[in-house]
Amino acid sequence: MTNDEKELSSLRRTVRRLWAMRWLKIAVTLVIVIALVGHVALVINTANSLEVEGVRVISVAPGVVVGDFIVTFQITLGNPTGGSIEVDRLTYDLHLEDHFIGDGEKSNFRVEPGSQDLEFQVTFNVYDLPAPVQELFFGSSATLTIEGEVTVPIKLFGVWRYTEVTVPYSHEEQVSSGTEPPDNPPPSPVLLAPPVYRPTASASLTWSMNADADFSRYEVHHATSPDFTPSESTKLTNITEQ
């Protein structure tokens, strides 16, 4: 075999190896793509399996402040798969006869296989609602609507967030106060003079209607932020009627 023939034979072997490596790269790429697509499909299918099995009102009870009511309700999530499902957030909005009374959310938790009950509370003041809604609530019943959505993140290999799946829900239920309304309740008070921050600070409140209301059934509380829980420590003890 001449040198030219040897070089030609070597060149042919090199070309064959290059083609073999090219096809090997294509095959590996296809395997990776198929694995990624299969993984994403599995994750999306698992996320779509999450269900809101039920929503129910546990109780509607009077709060500390006159007119306040605490709605306690339960949301049941169902996971029919064999593994846990990560939830980014669960939101809820409450309306009484189409009037907003509160909202909230629960973030970053997992739902294990089977059913999981989550309990929430929302406090509202019935005197913030129109008079017809008050009459229904204190009388026969009013329609309470609880709606929101559950957001499940889609992550590649449980690390990289790719997209998300949203599961909406809505529930309506008839509720009532279970109590008689206070005698001749006054409307919301008007702050005439904002108090100056000092030990002897005071504030004047006035009601434009129902001057003959039974004010002994009402309490006045103070705090430095709007989101606080009324208690004995926030209750004003020196109240003068004029």
What is the SS3 string spanning 108-160?
A: EEEECCEEEEEEEEEEEEHHHCCHHHHHHHHCCCEEEEEEEEEEEEEEECCCE
For 206-229, what is each residue's pLDDT tens digit? Answer: 554 455 555 555 667 777 776 777
Q: Of the candidates 89, 96, 102, which has an alpha carbon nearest to the alpha carbon of residue 130?
A: 96
DSSP 216: G
Taking residues 115-131, what's their average pLDDT? Answer: 93
Q: Give me the pLDDT at residue 65, please.
A: 84
Q: Give me the pLDDT at residue 212, please.
A: 53
Reply yes or no on whether the pLDDT at 57 is more than 80.
yes
For 58-113, what is each residue's pLDDT tens digit? Answer: 999 998 888 899 999 999 999 988 788 889 999 999 999 999 999 999 999 999 99
Question: The pTM is what?
Answer: 0.61
Q: Which contiguous run of DSSP H or E holds residue 45?
A: helix 3-48
Task: State the DSSP string of 17-32.
Answer: HHHHHHHHHHHHHHHH
Taking residues 11-32, what's their average pLDDT? Answer: 77
Burial of residue 152 (CB within 10 Å: 0-12, 13-18, 19+) is buried
More confident residue, 218 or 147: 147
Q: Give me the pLDDT at residue 230, please.
A: 78
Q: Give me the pLDDT at residue 99, please.
A: 95
pLDDT band of residue 198 (cuts 50, 70, 90) is very low
Apex CA 34: angle with CA 29 and CA 38, to 5°? 150
Q: Give me the pLDDT at residue 192, please.
A: 44
Percent of the chain with pLDDT over 70: 67
What's the mean pLDDT when you consider all of the chain?
78
Reply yes or no on whether the pLDDT at 185 is more than 60.
no
pLDDT band of residue 38 (cuts 50, 70, 90) is low
DSSP 212: T
Judge contact between 209 and 187, C-beta under 8 A: yes
Least confident among 17-21, 115-119, 123-127, 129-133: 17-21
DSSP-derived 3-state class of residue 165: strand
Query: In angstroms, what CA-CA distances link 48 with 16, 39, 79, 91, 159?
Result: 48, 14, 10, 17, 19
Q: Of the candidates 181, 154, 180, 182, which has an alpha carbon nearest to the alpha carbon of residue 167?
A: 154
Separation CA 9–CA 6 (nearest Å): 5
Pick the CATH number of 50-175 from 2.60.40.1820, 2.60.40.10, 3.30.1050.10, 3.40.640.10: 2.60.40.1820
